[in-house]
């Protein structure tokens, strides 16, 4: 098992390029199953979750050609459906939450799909009800095959329907959207997720011949077509990584430029970090962050303590709550962090407290941070990464701490961040990857 040995207190300086968006990649890679023609996807991040998903598709019978470090061509013209009931699929699919995304394309194109219980990390329960309610509205039936320990979804003739989703689930919307693209008639999805990643999926599907309107809103209309053709698609830069670099720059008093961020797709992210007192400057499609001795948290107009909470798009993404929390540690002022969506995502703060941070964990969803304004420096400790985003938050804390920190379970970080140690070391960090 690999570990990070982090020597803190070093300022970063230079340029860094964000990887392609992980959450978009998980969706668009699965979309290749909707056509028998070739689909080329570029700017794919070289991270564990993406590699696992590509391997899973390859074992399913999809022809996979690697054109370069970040570009692949897929062709799903000879798919082996029987693979979905194999022990190999159960093991591989069960360890990867993204495997859920193959259900919609497989169901609509082949009339049947199987899904293991979703795996991934430990941030809390992730409901899949929305997916199945949507499939049922299209005419599919599902049951749990206890002997196979798999969910079976069947629907030979899907028909368009109106549906009001019980929650604006990104993966649920994407899955239903893909299923509806080849269904008969018109499907209307109200309370649809509208994240940029989902907009990208819609753009890709429309380029393949789908008829989707309302893109970017919470009301999508899909007119089913008989077949889809091949296309080429380029991923957006990863907004979570961009947000992580913004917080990292502030905490370590660094001057960095984040290149090619697709600024118009970042939504409220720059605003939220601005409220934490971080100065950032848009330069074309780059973000420049100057070195700051101190950064002071805003208060609300009535003088009350700033609250940062997650919300569905265009609100603040839950994936950056951990980063906002660790950034607030060395700010001047107080912040309440409210993580609404996942009940276990704040449990990593006990490690930050051990490092010297002034944090009160109010309950599983809320943490109150009393910013230390750099008057007290965090100290290096040994700790483990419970999930992807908490892992990077702990890495940021370690980079700002006095002395050496050791982070275990860094496979969680590798699931979401490509060569993060190498890229940060290139601009001044001191992170050593070791085998424990």
Which sequence positions are flagged as catalytic? 121
370: enclosing H helix or E strand: strand 366-370
Phi, psi values for residue 325, rounded to 5°:
-65, -50
Indicate if the alpha-carbon torsion angle 221, 29, 415, 331 is positive or negative.
negative
DSSP 76: -
Distance of CA 378 to the CA centre of its chain: 28
Q: What is the number of other CB atoms lying within 10 angstroms of the CB of residue 435?
A: 6
Q: What is the number of other CB atoms lying within 10 angstroms of the CB of residue 147?
A: 5
- Counting beta carbons within 10 angstroms of the beta carbon of residue 136, is it exposed (0 to 12), middle (13 to 18) or buried (19 or more)? middle
Q: Render 268-310 in DSSP notation, one character per residue.
A: THHHHHHHTT---EEETTEEEE---S--B----TTSPPEEEE-
DSSP 344: T
Tokens of residue 432, six digits = 């050593």
Assign 188 to helix, strand or coil.
strand
Q: Render 97-127 in DSSP notation, one character per residue.
A: GGGGGGHHHHHHHHSEEEEPPP---SS----
């Amino acid at each position: 098992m690999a570990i990070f040995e982090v020597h803190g207190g070093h300022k970063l300086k230079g340029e860094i390029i964000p990887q392609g968006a992980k959450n978009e990649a998980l969706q668009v890679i699965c979309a290749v199953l909707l056509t028998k023609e070739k689909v080329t996807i570029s700017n794919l991040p070289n991270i564990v979750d993406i590699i696992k998903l590509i391997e899973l598709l390859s074992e399913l019978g999809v022809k996979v050609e690697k054109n370069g470090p970040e570009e692949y061509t897929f062709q799903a013209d000879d798919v082996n459906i029987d693979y979905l009931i194999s022990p190999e699929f159960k093991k591989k699919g069960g360890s990867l939450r993204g495997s859920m995304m193959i259900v919609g394309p497989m169901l609509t194109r082949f009339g049947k799909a199987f899904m293991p219980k979703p795996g991934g990390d430990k941030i809390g329960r992730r409901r899949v009800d929305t997916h199945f309610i949507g499939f049922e509205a299209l005419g599919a039936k599902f049951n749990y095959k206890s002997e196979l320990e798999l969910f079976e979804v069947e629907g030979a003739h899907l028909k368009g329907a109106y549906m009001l989703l019980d929650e604006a689930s990104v993966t649920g919307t994407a899955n239903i959207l893909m299923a509806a693209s080849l269904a008969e008639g018109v499907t209307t999805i109200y309370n649809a997720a509208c994240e940029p990643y989902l907009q990208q999926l819609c753009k890709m599907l429309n380029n393949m011949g789908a008829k989707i309107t309302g893109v970017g809103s919470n009301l999508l209309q899909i007119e089913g077509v008989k077949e889809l053709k091949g296309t080429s698609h380029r991923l957006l830069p990863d907004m979570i990584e961009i947000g992580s670099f913004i917080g990292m720059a502030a905490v370590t008093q660094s001057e960095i430029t984040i290149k090619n961020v697709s600024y118009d797709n970042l939504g409220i992210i720059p605003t939220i970090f601005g409220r934490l007192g971080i100065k950032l400057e848009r330069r074309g499609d780059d973000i420049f962050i100057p070195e700051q001795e101190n950064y002071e948290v805003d208060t609300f107009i009535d003088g009350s303590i700033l609250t940062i909470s997650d919300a569905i798009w265009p609100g603040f993404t839950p994936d950056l709550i951990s980063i906002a929390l660790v950034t607030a540690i060395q700010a001047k002022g107080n912040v309440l962090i409210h993580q609404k969506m996942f009940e276990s995502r704040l449990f990593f703060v006990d490690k930050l407290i051990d490092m010297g941070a002034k944090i009160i964990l109010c309950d599983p969803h809320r943490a109150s941070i009393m910013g230390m304004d750099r008057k007290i420096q965090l100290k290096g400790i040994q700790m483990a990464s419970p999930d992807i985003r908490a892992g990077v938050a702990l890495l940021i804390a370690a980079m700002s701490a006095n002395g050496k920190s050791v982070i275990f379970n860094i496979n969680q970080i590798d699931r979401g961040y490509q060569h993060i140690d190498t890229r940060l070391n290139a601009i001044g960090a001191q992170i050593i990857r070791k085998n424990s």
